[in-house]
């Protein structure tokens, strides 16, 4: 094995056994070279960049190389949907927010609104013409200062107006989309979920602070009422920060 490979393996071991804790900065490149007896700066750089590509390390421009922070959240899609729907029917607002109620994890959420034209995939899911004006709401979830998930919700501008969604200040903690639609007189009675995995784009990699070798989950949700799509949402989550669980009662359909 090359010297670069040996250094890469040893640094990986030190990260994994906790010698270098998540969020901490690694020693300077010159110090690491001295510690490992390496004379080639490029060889040490290759070892570090290999670990960045794996997602173990991250580069902060002007600051150094850090051990990536990861908070793995367990999510049950079915239980989460049922919770959101039940609370919407009861018009019950969840203290602390739906994400926290579903996962037991506290998050900070920032929201932005934008008017867009429906692209071909969203148009197909909403059964509308491509280019139809839509309201897109973007929700960025952060855990301990690190972006965990970026979600986007899209619906017609007329429906958004009926739901009272005029600006980010319209959002309320604990009030999800199902409740918002119900208050607009359009209670969804079916949800379709599609879960996909892929490699992130450069922009997405920067948004989510993921290494080059880390895939992301992209899950799509369509809320419908009696076969009519009302809202489409999509969420991007780094593959090393979430564990999806499905608990199904096999006797429910018998």
Q: Residue ranges of the alpha helices (H) in the chain?
A: 3-16, 29-36, 41-54, 77-90, 98-103, 120-126, 157-162, 177-183, 202-208
The pLDDT tens digits for 195-216 are 999 999 999 988 888 777 789 9
List C-alpha distances in Å: 253 to 83, 189, 250.
Answer: 20, 18, 7
Domains and CATH numbers, the chain: 3-67 (1.10.10.10), 73-245 (3.40.1410.10)
What pLDDT does residue 1 have?
66
Q: What is the pTM of this model?
A: 0.80
pLDDT of residue 205: 87
What is residue 62's predicted lDDT score, i.e. its pLDDT?
83
The length of the chain, given as a count of residues: 254
Confidence at residue 54, expressed as pLDDT on a 0 to 100 scale: 79
* CB contact set of 105 (below 8 Å; sequence gap of 6+): 71, 73, 99, 143
- State the DSSP string of 84-109: HHHHHHHT-PPTT-HHHHHHS---EE
Instruction: List the pLDDT tens digit at each of the 254 positions of the chain.
Output: 688 899 999 999 999 898 998 889 999 999 999 999 998 899 999 999 888 887 788 888 788 898 887 788 999 989 999 999 999 999 999 888 899 999 999 999 999 999 999 999 999 999 999 999 999 999 999 998 889 999 999 999 999 999 999 999 999 999 999 999 999 999 999 999 999 999 999 999 888 887 777 899 999 999 999 999 999 999 999 998 899 998 888 887 65
The pLDDT score that the predictor gives to residue 203 is 93
DSSP reduced 3-state for 252: coil
């Amino acid at each position: 094995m090359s010297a670069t490979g040996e250094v890469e393996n040893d640094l990986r071991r030190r990260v994994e056994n906790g010698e270098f804790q998540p969020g901490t900065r690694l020693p300077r490149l010159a110090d690491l070279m001295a510690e490992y007896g390496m004379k080639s700066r490029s060889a040490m750089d290759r070892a570090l960049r290999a670990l960045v590509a794996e997602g173990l390390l991250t580069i902060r421009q002007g600051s150094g190389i850090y051990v990536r922070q990861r908070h793995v959240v367990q999510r049950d899609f079915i239980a989460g949907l049922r919770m959101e729907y039940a609370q919407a029917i009861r018009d019950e607002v969840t203290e602390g927010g739906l994400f926290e109620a579903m996962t037991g994890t506290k998050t900070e959420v920032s929201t932005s609104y934008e008017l867009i034209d429906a692209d071909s995939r969203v148009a197909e899911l909403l059964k509308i013409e491509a280019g139809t004006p839509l309201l897109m709401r973007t929700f960025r979830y952060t855990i301990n200062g690190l972006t965990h998930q970026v979600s986007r919700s899209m619906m017609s501008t007329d429906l958004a107006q009926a739901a009272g969604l005029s600006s980010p200040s319209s959002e309320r903690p604990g009030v999800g989309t199902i409740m918002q639609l119900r208050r607009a007189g359009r209670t969804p009675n079916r949800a379709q979920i599609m879960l996909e995995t892929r490699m992130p784009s450069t922009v997405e990699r920067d948004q989510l602070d993921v290494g080059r070798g880390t895939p992301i989950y992209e899950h799509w949700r369509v809320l419908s009422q009696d076969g009519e799509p009302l809202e489409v949402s999509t969420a991007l989550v780094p593959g090393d920060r979430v564990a999806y669980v499905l608990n199904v009662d096999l006797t429910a359909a018998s």
